[in-house]
DNA sequence: CCCTTGATTAGACGGTTATCTAAACAGGTG
DNA sequence: CACCTGTTTAGATAACCGTCTAATCAAGGG
């Protein structure tokens, strides 16, 4: 969490790592990238992320998305994880806390999954 | 592993679930999709996947990719996980076993990360 | 037929994680 | 200030996961 988290936070996010098909990842690249995938690798977190991402302006109050079948503290725990992974940001406005999807993150992860030129040739 | 695995295996893979930004995922969709992300959420697995994906024809012998800093049984373990998640297929040809990336899987995961129309309007 | 090389399976161990309950904190309202 | 609602933090527990060594399976070559 500690040092890895700093590295993730320090990333431009728009361009962390090459596409998975471009060349093999270095150990460090793999560690950074895996952290993002890992954050989305839990059903509850994925639902929370999806709820925020599909809300208007990609923003939602905790109270709007907390209904995912686990206790509220657990929801808070997962939101924290998503935040640490750089996938969400949060802001308190009065009583409520709003979570927002960083659009650049989606683009970066999408880039990671760009099909290889080689397979494009084959296809 | 069991029932989830069957469901994952039964998917067309080309179109498992809607984009994360399209609408909030159902519990079942989230479980299926999270399984894929989870498989890529480990640095060693991600490196193995990247090694296969970036090889010519998106195919590689275990002997070509096994150098990721862990023992060979551990490599085998991770390859099995990737295979169970539907991200890789394997085939034995004589002495060696070859792993291959299913191109449709990359496309499906890329689709998941499609930016929301709303954010596109904003941008 | 044995032996070597490549790969997987079995079983165990240590660390991580998801979850809960209980408690604390933050902000608004009467 | 007291209270209520919304949110996070603390601490504990049970399950899961990544890793290893040892053993087993698969395929060829003397």
Mean model confidence pLDDT for chain B: 84
In the predicted model, what is the mean pLDDT of residues A39-58?
A: 94
In DSSP terms, B90 is beta-bridged to B99
Identify the DSSP state of B29. H
* A67/B contact by beta carbon, under 8 A: no
Q: Which contacts (CB < 8 Å, 24+ apart) does range B71-80 have?
A: B74/B44, B75/B44, B75/B48, B78/B42, B78/B44, B78/B45, B78/B48, B79/B48
* B103/A contact by beta carbon, under 8 A: yes
3 state SS of A68: coil
Model pLDDT, residue A1 = 43
Tell me the domains of chain B and their CATH numbers.
Answer: 2-13+25-122 (1.10.10.10)
Residues 78-97 (A) with a CB less than 8 A from some CB of B: none
CA distance B71 to chain A (A): 16
Question: Both tokens of residue B17?
Answer: 């679930």
In the predicted model, what is the mean pLDDT of residues B79-98?
A: 93
Q: Do A34 and B22 touch (CB under 8 A)?
A: no
Model pLDDT, residue A121 = 43
What angle do helix axes A27-39 and A72-84 make, rounded to 10 degrees?
A: 150
Closest chain B residue to A42 measured between Cα atoms?
B34
- Nearest by CB to A106, from B39, B103, B115: name it: B115
Model pLDDT, residue B10 = 54
Q: Looking at the predicted structure, is the pLDDT value of residue B13 above 60?
A: no
CA of residue A78 to C1' of nucleotide C18, angstroms: 9
In the predicted model, what is the mean pLDDT of residues A75-90?
A: 94
* A116/B contact by beta carbon, under 8 A: yes
B74-89 burial, b at 16+ Cβ within 10 Å, e below that, comes to: ebeebbebbebbbbbe
More confident residue, B9 or A87: A87
Model confidence band, residue B123 (pLDDT cutoffs 50, 70, 90) = very low
B90 membership: H or E segment, kind and range: strand B88-93
């Amino acid at each position: 969490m500690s040092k890895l988290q700093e590295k993730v936070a320090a990333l431009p996010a728009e361009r962390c790592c090459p596409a998975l098909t471009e060349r093999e990842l270095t150990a460090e690249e793999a560690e950074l990238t895996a952290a993002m995938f890992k954050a989305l690798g839990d059903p509850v977190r994925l639902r929370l992320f999806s709820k925020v991402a599909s809300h208007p302006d990609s923003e939602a109050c905790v109270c709007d998305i907390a209904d995912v079948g686990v206790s509220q503290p657990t929801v808070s725990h997962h939101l924290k994880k998503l935040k640490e992974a750089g996938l969400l940001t949060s802001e308190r406005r009065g009583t409520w806390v709003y979570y927002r999807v960083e659009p650049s993150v989606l683009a970066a992860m999408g880039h990671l999954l760009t099909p290889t030129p080689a397979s494009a040739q084959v296809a």
